[in-house]
Amino acid sequence: MFFQTNIKINGMACVAAAIGLFSGTIMAADYTKNPFTLAYDGAITENVKGAVNINPVKYKLNGLDIAANVYTPANYDPNRKYPVIVVAHPNGGVKEQVAGLYAQRLAEQGYITITADAAYQGASGGLPRSVDKPANRIEDIHGMADFITQYPGVDAKRLGLLGICGGGGYSLAAAATDKRFKSISTVSMFNSGRVRRNGYVDSQLGSIQQRLQQAVDARAQETAGGEVLYSGDANLTDEQIAKLPFDLYRQGYAYYWKTHAHPNSTFKYTTSSLLDLMRFDATDHLELIQQPLLMIAGSKADSLYMSEDAFAKATGTKDKELFRIDGATHIETYWVPKYVDAALTKLTAFYARTL
């Protein structure tokens, strides 16, 4: 299949949701009140026999300890065989936020799911902290597949992949060569390399060489044993956030710092990571993806151009769809109930057909 569709969402519900996002009080998800520190509404608070359960796990990946959560469906029986979905989290996010929400909701549909903190990030190991290199993020996805395909009850022949935001870009890159994944989907895909290189909405084309020099200088300082330098680390006031030029950044600060904050989540990344990020592009070699592909994005997302670009370049599969959720912005697909429901309705049908 090769088509593009839209879905309409009640406008007043969107307005109410937006009020909740920026007030920091309505619909806030407090990780401190959840025994698993989950930071999303409707999160599991205890494992109950016969219900969807969450299982914190750790495993090794290239010598590092990786912290992950495995969600098992209701009435899980390790002697049965279940389809399974790997969920890759956004840049700066952790498994307890939107990735956990989607993993839990998919487990409610009968899938075993896994979402892990990226190496060097969250509760996973690796020094210095907050290294954000594409090769590592892609390897994280391969590593989740390695671990979960050995998990009791998993049918390794029915393995799907879901990437959210930056995890979506890295999922496209991983799936291009990792044919264990039988189908791939993204929600609000973010091409980390393009943005770090060109700026968001290609707004920093004139400073590429200057920023590359900063990355080189930062690496040289690290190599000499000096202080590790970071980019993307800012403590902004509400007034400063309101003046940011893009919805993604304004709503992103509210989501990650207020309504769905988690102490392991951070915007910052090592400045030296830009050496790797700026030469990466999530859309390279997308013709290698021959598996079914579903890309979901909000029609009002200022990041929509990245999903559209990737969709056009995925020429190796004819079973592909770009699904626009009418009225949704990038961050609203993370938590606004009707937008999340719309995305999950589409995902559930897609995985039921392809897995």
Do the domain assignments include residue 251?
no
Q: State which residues form the domain around 182.
A: 2-6+51-239+265-354
Q: Are strands 320-325 and 293-298 parallel, antiparallel or unpaired?
A: parallel
Q: What is the pLDDT of residue 3?
A: 31
24: pLDDT strictly greater than 80? no
Do the domain assignments include residue 175?
yes
In 3D space, the residue among 49, 296, 61 whose CA is nearest the CA of residue 171 turns out to be 296
Do the domain assignments include residue 123?
yes
**Other C-beta atoms lying within 10 Å of the C-beta of residue 186:** 30
* Residues in contact with 169: Cβ distance below 8 Å, sequence separation at least 6, in sequence order: 163, 186, 189, 190, 191, 192, 193, 282, 306, 310
Q: What is the pLDDT of residue 192?
A: 98
Share the mean pLDDT of the chain.
Answer: 92
211: pLDDT strictly greater than 90? yes
Give this prediction's pTM: 0.92
Do the domain assignments include residue 285?
yes
Q: What is the pLDDT of residue 240?
A: 87
Do the domain assignments include residue 40?
no
Q: What is the mean pLDDT of residues 321-338?
A: 98
Choice among 176-180, 229-233, 321-325 with the minimum mean pLDDT: 229-233
Give the pLDDT band (50/70/90) at residue 18: very low
Q: How far apart are CA 97 and CA 110, in angstroms?
A: 21
Task: Provide the 8-state DSSP code for 292.
Answer: -
Choice among 69-78, 109-118, 241-250, 280-289 with the minimum mean pLDDT: 241-250
Q: Are strands 154-164 and 82-88 parallel, antiparallel or unpaired?
A: parallel
Q: What is the mean pLDDT of residues 158-183?
A: 98
108: pLDDT strictly greater than 50? yes
Q: What is the mean pLDDT of residues 198-211?
A: 96
Per the structure, how many domains does the chain have? 1
Give the total residue count for the chain.
Answer: 355
CATH of the domain at 306: 3.40.50.1820
Please state, in angstroms and as integers, the Cα–Cα distance from residue 343 to each residue in 53, 112, 139, 253, 335, following that order: 22, 18, 26, 22, 11
pLDDT one-digit tens code per residue, 308-323? 999 999 999 999 999 9
pLDDT one-digit tens code per residue, 42-76? 999 999 999 999 999 999 999 999 999 999 999 99
12: pLDDT strictly greater than 90? no
Q: What is the mean pLDDT of residues 278-307?
A: 98
238: pLDDT strictly greater than 90? no
- Within the chain, what is the greatest distance between any pair of CA atoms? 58
Q: What is the mean pLDDT of residues 164-193?
A: 98
Residue type, 236: L
Do the domain assignments include residue 235?
yes
Give the pLDDT band (50/70/90) at residue 28: confident
Do the domain assignments include residue 324?
yes
Give the pLDDT band (50/70/90) at residue 235: confident
Do the domain assignments include residue 176?
yes
Please list the alpha-helical segments (H only) found in the chain. 11-23, 98-107, 134-148, 166-177, 192-198, 208-223, 238-242, 247-254, 274-277, 304-313, 332-335, 337-354
Give the pLDDT band (50/70/90) at residue 120: very high
Spacing of C-alpha 273 from chain mean position: 19
